[in-house]
Structure 1
Amino acid sequence: MGNVQIQASGYAKPAAAHEFSLIERILIRGSHPVSMIFYLVSWTWGFFFLWNHQWPLALAVVLVGRIFGHLSVRHAHVDAIADTTLGKIAILHAHPFNLITQTIGAVVCLTGVWMHTTETILSGISIIALGHMMGWAKVHESLDLHTLESQSGE
């Protein structure tokens, strides 16, 4: 399977020879379903421990989950994963806007968990979701809202 390259003005498309950066490789491997399960479980327990003000335990659980998630897919072919929809979306997360927006959202969300304030948790999740929206149209042309409007004749 070929590599996927997402350009600033185009859709994801196979690239003849594309070297993924370290961040792209980490994010692509993180989009593997096995890795995602480890992340989901570790973050769930991490939130539990953070809610109970046991931040060292929360940090340890999340780090162990990330390490196990990464090790479980270390031999997976990055090129093959990058060709999947999840892989293409993961590559978009390497964009600085996505990284910054989602990091800010994560800090807000974690602060809300620590302080037990629902509004802050929901605000953080909303900011994270906004970060996810950046560039979805580059994954597949069917996700481009501007293209759909122009094709429908409106």
Structure 2
Amino acid sequence: MAASSFALRSTISSGIISNPRSKTLLPAVNSSFKPIKNPSLTQTHKLFTFSAPKRAFTCKSQAIPSDNSAPDKVQELHIYEMNERDRGSPAYLRLSKKSVNSLGDLVPFSNKMYRGDLEKRIGITAGICILIEHKPEMKGDRYEAIFSFYFGDYGHIAVQGPYLTYQ
């Protein structure tokens, strides 16, 4: 079973999202998300597993900036994203009909998300990767990925960006 974890921080009262790897606080009211780097796609035992983002996303507020940059209360939510391999995910769809990975091949996937204590399921991730470039000399591929994190009552985050299987 593949598992990965990352922290999502948000505030109750002031609408701030904090990057857990830096001490920068970013306003989150009416915000749009821009991913810096997306999860990497790794291959193990002829099945693909996905890991959480290695870098956090940036958040640019469209609201009026506030003079108070420190949040009143911060909640930290630790989650695990797991592929339990119970739904045939991910599937590699060779639309090119070639034996090697080729431009346009698709990899749809879905994973489950659990709280940090692994006691309660809090959501799912779902998305698709499109093969952009096959690099046999680097023993990997470059994909463009579009996927969403559905956190149930906590909300939803959609991200897009490159997957590199050779780094």
**TM-score, structure 2 normalization:** 0.25
More helix by share: 1
Higher relative CO (CA 8 A, sep ≥ 6), structure 1 or 2? 1
Which structure has more strand as a fraction of its residues? 2
Q: What TM-score does the superposition give when structure 1 sets the normalisation length?
A: 0.26
